[in-house]
């Protein structure tokens, strides 16, 4: 019985030792496998993080690029436009005023601004010279007339006023003191459609006082009478 027990004890002890010895290598392998798996998972996690960071950086770069282009475009809108069709040093000719509309039968010469020369000698009285004789009725005092005119200094011929340059004929009542005396006296009786030259001594114009920018001294006007009513 003791031998058997002893044998059994030996057998039991050996089986325990063999089982324990057999399990030890399996535990190390499992640990190595677990470590490898953990390292693999960590590497995959790192790769995912790097991919996500790279994608985010790409998106930010695109957003920054688009934002920069928008900013540049908005800045260009605030900049003044640069003229490319004409050199800044090249003078621009002013547009000619439109030709006035004339009544039927009016001489075509009245469509063009006249050239007015200076006078000569001493001017002592009103002088009316017909340059183009109209075919309309004679102007009467109290009527409202429409005219185009050019005014120059009698001495020297320098222009100081012209309705042609404004592109708008002058309309006023004649013979009632609305205009200078030389016009009130010189235009009454002139047929509509006429072009007349009025040479006015200073006392029938603005006098000899040039204060306030008035043209002083004797003056010469060329007046086109376009209408009267």
Integer angstrom CA distances of residue 15 from 18, 86, 228: 5, 110, 144
From 145, 149, 154, 199, the catalytic residue: 149
Q: Is residue 195 within 8 Å of 114, Cβ to Cβ?
A: yes
From 107, 153, 180, 203, the catalytic residue: 180
180 is an active site residue: yes
Name the token pair of 140: 């009467």
174 is an active site residue: no
From 145, 184, 199, 221, the catalytic residue: 221
Give 85: exposed, middle or buried? Use CB within 10 Å, 0-12, 13-18, 19+: exposed
From 154, 174, 199, 206, the catalytic residue: 206
Q: Which residues contact 172 (CB under 8 A, 6 or more apart)?
A: 144, 145, 178, 179
153 is an active site residue: no
76 is an active site residue: no
From 11, 160, 172, 209, the catalytic residue: 160
160 is an active site residue: yes
Other Cβ atoms within 10 Å of 160 Cβ, number = 13
Other Cβ atoms within 10 Å of 120 Cβ, number = 8
Q: Which residues contact 148 (CB under 8 A, 6 or more apart)?
A: 100, 110, 113, 163, 164, 169, 170, 223, 224, 226
From 107, 153, 161, 203, the catalytic residue: 161
154 is an active site residue: no
Active site residues: 149, 160-161, 180, 206, 221
């Amino acid at each position: 019985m003791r031998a058997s027990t002893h044998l059994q004890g030996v057998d039991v002890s050996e089986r325990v030792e063999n089982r324990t010895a057999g399990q030890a290598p399996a535990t190390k392998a499992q640990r190595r496998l677990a470590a490898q798996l953990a390292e693999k998972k960590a590497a995959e996690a790192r790769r995912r993080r790097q991919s996500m960071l790279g994608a985010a950086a790409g998106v930010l770069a695109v957003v920054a690029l688009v934002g920069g282009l928008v900013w540049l475009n908005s800045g260009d809108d605030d900049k003044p436009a640069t003229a490319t069709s004409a050199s800044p040093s090249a003078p621009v000719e002013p547009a000619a005023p439109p030709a006035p509309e004339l009544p039927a039968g009016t001489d075509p010469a009245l469509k063009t601004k006249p050239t007015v020369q200076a006078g000569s000698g001493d001017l002592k009285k009103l002088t009316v010279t017909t340059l183009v004789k109209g075919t309309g009725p004679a102007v009467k005092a109290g009527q409202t007339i429409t005219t185009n005119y050019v005014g120059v200094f009698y001495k020297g011929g320098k222009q100081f006023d012209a309705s042609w340059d404004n592109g708008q004929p002058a309309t006023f009542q004649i013979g009632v003191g609305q205009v200078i005396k030389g016009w009130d006296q010189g235009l009454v009786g002139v047929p509509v459609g006429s072009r007349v030259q009025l040479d006015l001594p200073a006392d029938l114009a603005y006098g000899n006082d040039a204060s306030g920018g008035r043209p002083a001294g004797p003056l010469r006007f060329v007046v086109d009478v376009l209408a009267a009513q």
